């Protein structure tokens, strides 16, 4: 039987570690505060925002919530972000995506100060990641690295295939695997003979956005499979990009959906928030 990688358990371990660290830093006068901005009342976004608030409360990170109406203009949102950039009591800024159609998401991401970009989406954060400088890491890929490490799965020297080249998962995932000395291939919608590419993978990370797309004929015997997808099927059941029931038997380790990668994203967001006061602690 393969190892079922328990993202809920590992994310809780990380949050418990962060809670202890935040308590120690608070005793030294270091306090973290996350500002969360939501525009409109998209139900999925509201769930994510509430989960982030709960995680902040558990760990001991202060949080401010800005719930703006759907008709908020781009200029109004830019002004709010700029005010938070200048507010020394705020360590991290998170603008919940997606934004309404009248707002340019890229402009908003670029408006956030790189020193408060706890989502790791700003071009400066991305550049720091690729050249190996210290900075905020994109939360989902960083969470996947922790899933692998804390499950005893070595990345060094392994053939790693990432399916998907998004700025949020695929590209930063490739950079982080390279940091860990993996040999990395990024496959995508224009990749020829995808099965031939994925069957080389010792570690296969799937962020393709297609329900149960990956079946066992895409997977090498004994591979580790990480499923980043999240969908609801025709029976309203949560499922991923990987056909878990079909693939499980040929893997050495696999993440379930739900309960795999998902919980790690918020845990690593919290880690980025704590990183803002770790950095303070290192300053003379």
Nearest alpha-carbon partner for 141 in 162, 112, 115, 110 = 162
Specify whether 149 is catalytic. Answer: no
Distance CA 5, CA 254 (A): 6
Q: Which of 52, 116, 171, 220 is catalytic?
A: 52
Specify whether 28 is catalytic. Answer: no
How far is CA 73 from its chain centroid? 27
Q: 86 Cβ partners below 8 Å, 6+ apart?
A: none
Nearest alpha-carbon partner for 121 in 142, 100, 101, 103 = 142
Q: 188 Cβ partners below 8 Å, 6+ apart?
A: 163, 164, 165, 170
Q: Which of 6, 117, 119, 241 is catalytic?
A: 119
Specify whether 96 is catalytic. Answer: yes
Q: Which of 6, 15, 38, 96 is catalytic?
A: 96
Distance CA 9, CA 174 (A): 25
Annotated catalytic residues are 52, 96, 119
């Amino acid at each position: 039987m393969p190892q079922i990688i328990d993202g809920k358990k590992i994310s809780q371990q990380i949050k418990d570690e962060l809670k202890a660290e935040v308590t120690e830093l608070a005793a030294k006068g270091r306090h973290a505060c996350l500002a969360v901005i939501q525009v409109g009342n998209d139900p999925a976004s509201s769930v994510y925002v509430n989960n982030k608030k709960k995680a902040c409360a558990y760990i001991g990170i202060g949080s401010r919530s800005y719930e703006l109406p759907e008709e908020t203009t781009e200029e109004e949102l830019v002004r709010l972000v700029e005010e938070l950039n200048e507010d020394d009591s705020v360590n991290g800024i998170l603008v919940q995506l997606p934004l309404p159609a009248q707002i340019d998401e890229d402009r908003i991401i670029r408006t956030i100060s790189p020193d408060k970009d706890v989502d790791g989406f700003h071009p400066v954060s991305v550049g720091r990641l690729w050249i190996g400088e210290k900075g905020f890491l994109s939360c989902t890929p960083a969470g996947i690295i922790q899933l692998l490490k804390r499950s005893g799965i070595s990345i060094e020297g392994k053939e790693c295939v990432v399916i998907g080249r998004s700025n949020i998962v695929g590209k930063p995932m490739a950079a982080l695997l390279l940091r860990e000395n993996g040999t990395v291939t990024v496959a995508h919608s224009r990749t020829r003979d995808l099965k031939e590419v994925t069957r080389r993978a010792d570690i296969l990370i799937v962020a393709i956005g297609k329900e149960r797309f990956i079946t066992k004929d895409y997977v090498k015997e004994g591979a580790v499979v990480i499923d980043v997808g999240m969908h609801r099927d025709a029976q309203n059941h949560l499922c991923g990009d990987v056909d878990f029931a079909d693939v499980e038997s040929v893997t050495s380790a696999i993440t379930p959906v739900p309960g795999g990668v998902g919980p790690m994203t918020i845990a690593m967001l919290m880690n980025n928030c704590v990183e803002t006061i770790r950095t303070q602690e290192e300053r003379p």
